């Protein structure tokens, strides 16, 4: 297998020799990057089409593991999905920079590449200007002494540790250390009676006695807010709400049965903390993060399935992905001992972590995710053959069907539109104005009254308005000019068929016909 790869590489090198020739060092650098990107694109495609064991054997044939290739395959997938039309520009950038593009923080860099062909120096400068995460406020030793370093404690555990530390007269960090030392002594064969005696003698003097009436009040307390928990019963994970406590046990309803479970065996589900992490776009804590990702992907694949036309060639692969994500959600939840409502996810595409709870993925994955566009030319061809990656923006604007498509192509940027039209003929510019006028006729309120076209230069807007007829003061008029355009005192001037001039505010204008 290795020899076959080397042979194919030799053939590719021979094929490209006519393109390379005696090129300069920078051009050879670009060639190296282009070859690497072409290769990783092919690996990404093999991962999708080959059985898992064949794919791993293929990686092993050139001495790489799945973990080694993962960053490069992620980059290839990202390029196919987000930058399939910029392969010529990507081949001229440092591979170390490219590997960072899939990170959310680099979204502005991706947009910069999508809208132009920046050099590596320009990209480096843009990276320097990316917003950075603010540093945490400096804490003095006094502020840090009660922190438990390296531990992510749940609320319930933190309360236990805090109470224990208060009784021992120590910080939480020190209390954990001393209790762990006691456990080590007991586990290594030290006489338990002596070890516990020394522990009491050292720390019992710090304990604050609990009053008898406080103990009674705690035992009789029943007016608490119900909270969700999960527990194991004969190897099965259950979840319910704690509504009633008898002694040291909670009475819980699940699957049309009532269970009496010791409070010490219950795992509290902090659903509010999970919701806050989702709403604040933070990284969910493990293991809920993976369940959330799997559920979102399953939902998106299912929605994509529903949107595919009959007989679409990607239907089978999309269905396979949907089944895979559902399976990953269930197996991951079982492995990490997380309860979730499987029926809700399978039948209604809802992620519910507590009985009768709310859907945690209601606001995401509601758009179809169609198969990535295939890159028609290789990086090498784009770099050396002179074949353009895609039609230019100028050509795409000429081919646009309507004004909505034009606005989308230039991203509502008047400078971009003006530069693209520099070499247009008068007829081509007139056709664009006609498309704008057609848009104004059907969407006048949105475009003008709601200022959707505020980005467009007023001269272009005036030309389009002159193609329409308006109803002003119950008279049919033609647009004449703007007065104080873009200010609070903006007025529009119209002329009637008799030559009379009528001036009115923007909000009194109505389209009559095109």
Task: Please give the Cα distance from 113 to 82 (Å, whole number).
Answer: 10
DSSP assignment string, 139-199: --HHHHTT--TT----HHHHHHHHHHHHHHTS-HHHHHHHHHHHHHHHHTT--HHHHHHHH
Give 326's pLDDT tier (boundaries 50, 70, 90): confident
Q: Quickly tell me which residue has 């566009």 as its tokens.
A: 373
With beta carbons less than 8 A apart as the criterion, state whether 414 and 456 touch: yes
Task: Please give the Cα distance from 362 to 384 (Å, whole number).
Answer: 47
Task: Please give the Cα distance from 179 to 347 (Å, whole number).
Answer: 48
Most confident of 3-7, 97-101, 313-317: 97-101
CB neighbour list of residue 390: distance below 8 Å, 6 or more residues apart: 85, 396
H/E stretch holding 380 reads helix 379-384
Lowest mean pLDDT among 4-8, 292-296, 477-481: 4-8
pLDDT at 212 (0 to 100): 36
**Residue among 427, 410, 511, 506 at smallest CA distance from 470:** 511
Give 335's pLDDT tier (boundaries 50, 70, 90): confident
pLDDT at 210 (0 to 100): 36
Largest CA distance in the chain: 113
CB neighbour list of residue 88: distance below 8 Å, 6 or more residues apart: 117, 379, 382, 383, 389
* 3-state SS record for 26-43: HHHHHHHHHHHHHHHHHH
**Could you say which DSSP state residue 483 is in?**
E
What is the side-by-side strand order in the sheet with 475-483? 501-505, 491-496, 475-483, 469-472, 510-513
Q: How many CA atoms lie within 13 A of 391 on its CB side?
A: 9
Average of per-residue pLDDT across 2-26: 47
Average of per-residue pLDDT across 396-421: 85
Retrieve residue 52's tokens: 């898992």
The residue with greater pLDDT, 9 or 234, is: 234
The residue with greater pLDDT, 273 or 106, is: 106
**Could you say which DSSP state residue 138 is in?**
P
Give 18's pLDDT tier (boundaries 50, 70, 90): very low
Task: Please give the Cα distance from 496 to 13 (Å, whole number).
Answer: 73
Per residue in 363-381, pLDDT tens? 887 877 665 545 555 666 6
Task: Please give the Cα distance from 192 to 198 (Å, whole number).
Answer: 10
Task: Judge if pTM exceeds 0.85.
Answer: no
Task: Please give the Cα distance from 337 to 332 (Å, whole number).
Answer: 8
Retrieve residue 373's tokens: 């566009």
Give 30's pLDDT tier (boundaries 50, 70, 90): confident
With beta carbons less than 8 A apart as the criterion, state whether 113 and 86 touch: yes
With beta carbons less than 8 A apart as the criterion, state whether 50 and 403 touch: no
Per residue in 460-475, pLDDT tens? 888 988 888 888 888 8
Task: Please give the Cα distance from 83 to 77 (Å, whole number).
Answer: 10
Beta bridge partner(s), residue 241? 228
Lowest mean pLDDT among 137-141, 165-169, 316-320, 463-467: 137-141
Which percentage of the chain shows pLDDT scores above 70?
A: 78
pLDDT at 213 (0 to 100): 39
Per residue in 383-401, pLDDT tens? 555 544 456 778 888 888 8
Three-state SS for 386?
coil
Q: Quickly tell me which residue has 């119209």 as its tokens.
A: 494
Task: Please give the Cα distance from 76 to 120 (Å, whole number).
Answer: 19
Average of per-residue pLDDT across 161-167: 76
Task: Please give the Cα distance from 502 to 500 (Å, whole number).
Answer: 7
CB neighbour list of residue 167: distance below 8 Å, 6 or more residues apart: 203, 206, 207, 208
pLDDT at 38 (0 to 100): 87
pLDDT at 286 (0 to 100): 62
Beta bridge partner(s), residue 261? 250
**Residue among 463, 460, 444 at smallest CA distance from 452:** 444
């Amino acid at each position: 297998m290795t020899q076959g790869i080397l042979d194919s590489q030799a053939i590719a090198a021979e094929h490209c020799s006519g393109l390379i020739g005696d090129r300069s060092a920078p051009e050879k650098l670009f060639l190296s990057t282009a070859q690497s990107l072409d290769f990783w694109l092919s690996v990404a495609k093999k991962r999708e089409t080959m059985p898992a064991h064949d794919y791993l054997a293929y990686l092993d044939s050139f001495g790489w593991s799945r973990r080694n290739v993962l960053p490069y395959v992620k980059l290839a997938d990202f390029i196919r999905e987000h930058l399939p039309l910029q392969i010529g520009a990507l081949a001229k950038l440092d591979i170390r920079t490219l590997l960072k593009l899939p990170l959310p923080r680099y979204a502005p860099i991706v947009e910069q590449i999508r809208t132009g062909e920046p050099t590596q120096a320009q990209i480096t400068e843009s990276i320097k200007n990316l917003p950075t995460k603010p540093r945490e406020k400096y804490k003095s030793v006094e502020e840090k002494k009660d922190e438990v370093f390296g531990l992510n404690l749940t609320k319930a555990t933190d309360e236990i540790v805090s109470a224990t530390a208060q009784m021992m007269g120590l910080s939480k960090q020190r209390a954990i250390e001393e209790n762990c030392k006691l456990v080590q002594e007991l586990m290594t064969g030290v006489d338990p009676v002596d070890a516990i005696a020394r522990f009491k003698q050292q720390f019992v003097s710090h304990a604050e006695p609990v009053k008898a009436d406080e103990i009674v009040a705690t035992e009789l307390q029943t007016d608490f807010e119900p909270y969700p928990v999960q527990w194991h019963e004969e190897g099965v994970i259950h979840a319910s709400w704690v509504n009633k406590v008898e002694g040291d046990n909670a009475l819980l309803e699940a699957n049309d049965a009532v269970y009496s479970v010791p409070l010490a065996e219950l795992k509290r589900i902090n659903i509010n903390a999970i919701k806050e992490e989702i709403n604040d776009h933070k990284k969910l804590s493990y293991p809920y993060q993976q369940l959330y990702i799997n559920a979102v992907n399953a939902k998106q694949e299912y929605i994509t399935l529903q949107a595919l036309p009959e007989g679409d060639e990607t239907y089978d692969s999309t269905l396979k992905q949907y089944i895979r994500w559902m399976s990953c959600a269930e197996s991951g939840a079982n492995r990490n001992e997380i309860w979730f409502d499987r029926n809700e996810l399978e039948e209604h595409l809802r992620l519910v972590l507590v009985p009768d709870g709310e859907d945690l993925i209601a606001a995401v994955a509601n758009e179809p995710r169609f198969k990535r566009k295939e890159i028609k030319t290789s990086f090498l061809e784009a770099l050396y053959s002179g074949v353009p990656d895609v039609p230019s923006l100028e050509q795409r604007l000429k081919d646009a069907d309507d004004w909505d498509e034009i606005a989308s192509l230039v991203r509502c940027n008047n400078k971009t539109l003006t530069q693209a039209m520099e070499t247009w003929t008068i007829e081509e510019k007139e056709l664009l104005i006609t498309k704008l006028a057609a848009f104004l006729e059907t969407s006048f309120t949105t475009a003008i009254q709601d200022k959707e076209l505020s980005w467009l230069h007023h001269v272009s807007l005036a030309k389009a308005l002159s193609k329409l007829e308006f109803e002003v003061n119950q008279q049919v008029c033609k647009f004449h000019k703007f007065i104080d355009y873009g200010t609070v005192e903006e007025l529009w001037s119209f002329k009637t068929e008799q030559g009379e001039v009528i001036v009115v505010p923007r909000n009194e204008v109505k389209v009559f016909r095109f």
